[in-house]
Amino acid sequence: MRQALMLKYLDEGIPSERTVYRIMEETGLSHRPKRKLNGITKADRSARTSDDRLKRDFTAERLLEKWVTDITEIPTKDGKRYVSAVFHLST
């Protein structure tokens, strides 16, 4: 497509990638694939929710009094890897 546009618009220079996408959209030559959902969290509406013990108060009076964590999935060529960070909150 880019080569065809370059031949058509010789005097205007090389078309940008965005121009190529726009023209392909206009002519119906492109599609937008559906996003593949591959997260590790599965919604379970019937599951019991945890109590909000912090109540959005992320300060702590003493060291190591409050802890928070999160987990992230990282796709690698060897398979999925998981990283979990654990932080203690303090003032």
Residues 4-49: tens digit of each pLDDT: 777 777 677 777 788 878 888 888 877 666 677 666 667 777 777 7
User: Which residues are CB-contacts of 24 (< 8 A; sequence separation ≥ 6)?
Assistant: 1, 30
Predicted local distance difference test score (pLDDT) of residue 40 = 66
Predicted local distance difference test score (pLDDT) of residue 84 = 93
Predicted local distance difference test score (pLDDT) of residue 83 = 92
Give whole-number Cα distances, 20 to 4, 30, 36, 43, in Å.
10, 10, 25, 39
Is pTM beyond 0.85? Reply is: no
> Exposed e or buried b for every residue in 57-89, given b needs 16+ CB within 10 A?
eeeeeeeeebeeeeeeeeeeeeeeeeeeeeeee
Query: For the residues of 24-82, what is the DSSP string, one character each?
Result: HHHHT----PPPPP--S----TTSPPPP-SSTT----SSTTSEEEEEEEEEEETTEEEE
pLDDT, tens digit, 9 for 90 and up, residues 59-70? 888 888 888 888
